[in-house]
């Protein structure tokens, strides 16, 4: 028995000795490594932490219209990040299940999907479980203090009115790269400066965390007027629904300054969902396309037709020919022309659009009738050298320099290639190509007194707190024609609308001038046309010029479709909004009062626009974008100029609970 006890004690002593020896050996080894390699390993650990720098994306600058109404804004959001390594290997299963359940409830995700992310990447330290959650959701996650879950600050771009002014604005893609429009052209001003969260060495050994806050981008203030843009897009939409064109476009400009007041194109897209066109197709069509077909269509839709597509201007070019010939004294206002319906040029017989002819006509009548034969007579007197020079003076064949990306320069005949036939067909706007922005810029020079202006879309750039950084002023590129020639053309272009081919552009009570255009596309005889109208008002002092284009309409036949009604619809709404008083004869009975409709549930923009057109004023009371109540109440008749009080809310659901209540004046 004693022997057994002694054996046990010996065995325990041996084990204890080995254990103590191992511990002493381990301590010696650690001390040796610390003494010999300590600095090296410590430096490696520090460097490893220094490689964990985190980027904090800046809030991208806002894009606003000329009245500082938001068009594109950025908000701080958060990406929810999982650390699967911690969740899978460093906490208990019970604790992990609690984290997963809490996170699933906050983010409205299934616990299974979160669990799968953990199990699929158990060694990962970074897995995004949900992007762009709002601040209130992020705060709930913070309050829970969930282990293995952290938040990454990010910035989310929001285009306030979806496809509104899409081609003008462009978009920011998922990789935060600015593409197309103002977003791309002014990216250096808009993108701001990224912040950093990174470790730093202190006294050569210790690591501390250093934060550099991001700097928000500047606010870009456009020349665009949100209300004018709205009316232009509305008129374009109505024309598209009626005529189903392949492409369509509208530009509105201040002819005196070169400021773009509105710019729209069809087909369009939603910058919030820039790579998804499903809402613009019948159900299921977009999803049925291959990836290559989708990409091809997207690249086409993203382009701004007003800048990046060239077309033959047709008869909208005829005012340029007359202006050049008058300026060069090649013709006079007293000249007469005889149109027999055709003219023989060299060996070719070129027809007027009116094949039976216009007969004898004055210069003014020739423009009003859009007579091809008269234009050919005029350009013969002008000559190829002067014709080409004025094409260049009016800005054709070169980019306008507008502050947007993707502008094309157009295609002109070289001067030496302007033989008799080419010169004759060019006189009525065929066999050469221009862009819409070139045409409206050159046309503005005809009606503004002769100055070719630099077109632009950005009025100024300001900091977040409103400090001005950059301002754009109107730039006269060159004088093209005299004031006298400009005055003659303005009068002639009014006759086009009152008595000529542009009658569909007449606006009751206002003096409107303009020119129609119909250009047959290549190959000739295919039945495909580009229809356009360019109009301005008022004639005596042009404040706005609008170009509308319909490319390959579905139901065009013998002039049955025109772009002039688009411009008329725009002018009917925009001229009163701009405060331009009627100056012509009107047959409309003068109204002394207006009956108020019910505006509840409508947006503030829609309501304000309608009230402005009706000749009324308004005052918004409260915060939000939806009209909850109004005073006076619906059905009340009020005098012109009355200020209507609009009580607004951010939550449209509130309207349903209060729509039966009436508003009484305090």
Q: Which residues are catalytic?
A: 315
Strands (DSSP E) along 324-449, which ranges? 336-339, 342-345, 348-351, 359-362
User: Alpha-carbon distance 99 to 93, whole Å?
Assistant: 10
Asked whether 529 and 520 are in contact (CB, 8 A), the reply is yes
Question: Which among 586, 522, 514 has a CA at the least distance from the CA of 552?
Answer: 522
User: Alpha-carbon distance 612 to 234, whole Å?
Assistant: 16
Q: Is 648 left (phi over 0), alpha (psi -120 to 50) or beta?
A: beta
Question: Which among 506, 609, 647 has a CA at the least distance from the CA of 234?
Answer: 609
> CB count, 10 Å around CB of 467?
8
Q: Find tokens 């404040």 and name the residue.
A: 543
Q: Work out whether strand 544-551 and strand 468-471 pair parallel, antiparallel, or are unpaired.
A: unpaired
Asked whether 406 and 308 are in contact (CB, 8 A), the reply is yes
Q: Could you tell me how many residues make up the chain?
A: 666
Provide the CA 240 distance to its chain's centre, in angstroms. Answer: 19
User: Alpha-carbon distance 363 to 380, whole Å?
Assistant: 15
Q: Give the N- to C-terminal CA distance of the chain in Å, as an integer.
A: 108
Contacts of 350 (CB under 8 A, 6+ apart): 342, 343, 344, 372, 376, 421, 424, 425
User: Alpha-carbon distance 538 to 552, whole Å?
Assistant: 30
User: Alpha-carbon distance 254 to 223, whole Å?
Assistant: 10
Asked whether 249 and 306 are in contact (CB, 8 A), the reply is yes
Contacts of 507 (CB under 8 A, 6+ apart): 537, 568, 571, 572, 575
User: Alpha-carbon distance 267 to 547, whole Å?
Assistant: 17
- Radius of gyration (C-alpha) of the chain in whole angstroms: 35
Provide the CA 402 distance to its chain's centre, in angstroms. Answer: 15
What values do phi and psi take at 328, rounded to 5? -90, 5
Question: Which among 572, 631, 555 has a CA at the least distance from the CA of 596?
Answer: 631
Q: What is each CA distance from 181 to 87, 169, 399, 494, 508, in whole angstroms?
A: 45, 5, 16, 34, 36
Question: Which among 347, 453, 346 has a CA at the least distance from the CA of 395?
Answer: 453
Q: ω into residue 538 within 30 of 0, thus cis? A: yes
Question: Which among 217, 211, 184 has a CA at the least distance from the CA of 198?
Answer: 211
Bridge partners for 453 per DSSP: 476
What values do phi and psi take at 351, rounded to 5? -95, 150
Q: Got the DSSP string for 167-227?
A: HHH-EE-TTS-EESHHHHHTHHHHS-B-EEEEEEEETTTEEEEEEE--BPPPEEEES--HH
């Amino acid at each position: 028995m004693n022997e057994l006890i002694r054996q046990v004690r010996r065995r325990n002593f041996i084990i204890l000795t080995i254990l103590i020896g191992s511990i002493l050996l381990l301590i010696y080894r650690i001390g040796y490594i610390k003494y010999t390699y300590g600095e090296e390993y410590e430096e490696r650990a520090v460097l490893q932490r220094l490689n964990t720098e985190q980027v904090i994306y800046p809030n991208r600058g806002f894009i606003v219209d000329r009245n500082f109404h938001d068009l594109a804004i950025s908000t701080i959001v958060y990406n929810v990040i999982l650390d699967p390594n911690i969740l899978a290997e460093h906490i208990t299963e019970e604790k992990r299940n609690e984290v997963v359940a809490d996170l699933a409830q906050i983010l409205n995700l299934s616990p299974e999907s979160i669990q799968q992310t953990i199990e699929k990447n158990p060694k990962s330290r970074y897995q995004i479980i949900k992007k762009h959650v709002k601040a209130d959701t992020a705060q709930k996650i913070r309050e829970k203090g969930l282990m293995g879950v952290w938040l990454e600050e990010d910035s989310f771009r929001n285009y306030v009115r979806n496809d509104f002014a899409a081609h003008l604005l462009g978009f920011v893609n998922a990789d935060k790269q600015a593409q197309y429009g103002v977003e791309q052209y002014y990216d250096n001003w808009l993108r701001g400066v990224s912040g950093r969260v990174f470790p730093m060495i202190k006294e050569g050994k210790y690591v501390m965390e250093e934060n550099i806050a991001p700097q928000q981008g500047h606010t870009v203030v456009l020349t665009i007027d949100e209300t004018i843009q709205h009316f232009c897009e509305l008129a374009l939409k109505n024309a598209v629904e009626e005529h189903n064109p392949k492409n369509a476009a509208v530009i509105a400009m201040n002819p005196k300054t070169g400021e773009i007041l509105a710019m729209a194109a069809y087909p369009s897209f939603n910058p919030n969902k820039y790579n998804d066109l499903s809402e613009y197709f019948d159900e299921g069509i977009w999803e049925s396309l291959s990836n290559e077909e989708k990409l091809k269509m997207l690249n086409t839709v993203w382009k701004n037709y007003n800048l990046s597509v060239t077309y033959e201007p047709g008869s909208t070019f005829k005012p340029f020919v007359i202006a050049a010939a008058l300026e060069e004294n090649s013709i006079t206002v007293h000249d007469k022309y005889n149109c027999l319906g055709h003219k023989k040029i060299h060996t070719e017989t070129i027809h007027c659009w009116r094949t039976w002819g216009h007969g004898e006509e004055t210069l003014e009548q020739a423009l009003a009738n859009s007579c091809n034969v008269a234009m050919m007579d005029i350009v013969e007197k002008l000559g190829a050298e002067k014709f080409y020079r004025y094409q260049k003076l009016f800005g054709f064949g070169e980019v306008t320099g507008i502050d947007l990306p993707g502008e094309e320069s157009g295609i002109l005949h070289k001067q030496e290639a302007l033989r008799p036939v080419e010169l004759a067909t060019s006189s009525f706007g065929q066999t050469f190509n221009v862009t819409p922005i070139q045409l409206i810029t050159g046309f503005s020079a005809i009606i503004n007194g002769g100055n070719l202006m630099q077109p632009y879309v950005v009025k100024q750039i300001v900091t977040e707190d409103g400090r001005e950084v950059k301002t754009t002023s109107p730039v006269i590129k060159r004088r093209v024609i005299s004031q006298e020639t400009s005055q003659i053309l303005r009068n002639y272009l009014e006759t086009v609308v009152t008595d000529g081919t542009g009658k569909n552009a007449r606006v009751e009570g206002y003096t409107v001038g303009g020119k129609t255009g119909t250009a047959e596309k290549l190959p000739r005889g295919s039945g495909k046309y580009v229809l356009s109208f360019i109009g301005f008002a008022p004639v005596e002092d042009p404040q706005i010029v609008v170009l509308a284009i319909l490319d390959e309409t579905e139901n065009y036949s013998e002039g049955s479709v025109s772009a002039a009604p688009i411009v008329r619809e725009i002018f009917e709404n925009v001229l009163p909004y701009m405060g331009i008083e009627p100056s012509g004869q009107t047959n409309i009975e003068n109204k002394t009062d207006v009956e108020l409709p019910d505006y509840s549930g409508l947006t503030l923009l829609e309501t304000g626009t309608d009230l402005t057109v009706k000749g009324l004023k308004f005052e918004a009371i409260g915060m939000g974008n939806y009209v909850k109540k109004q005073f006076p109440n619906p059905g009340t008749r009020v005098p012109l100029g009355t200020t209507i009080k609009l009580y607004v809310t951010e939550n449209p659901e509130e309207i349903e609970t209060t729509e039966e209540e009436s508003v009484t004046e305090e």
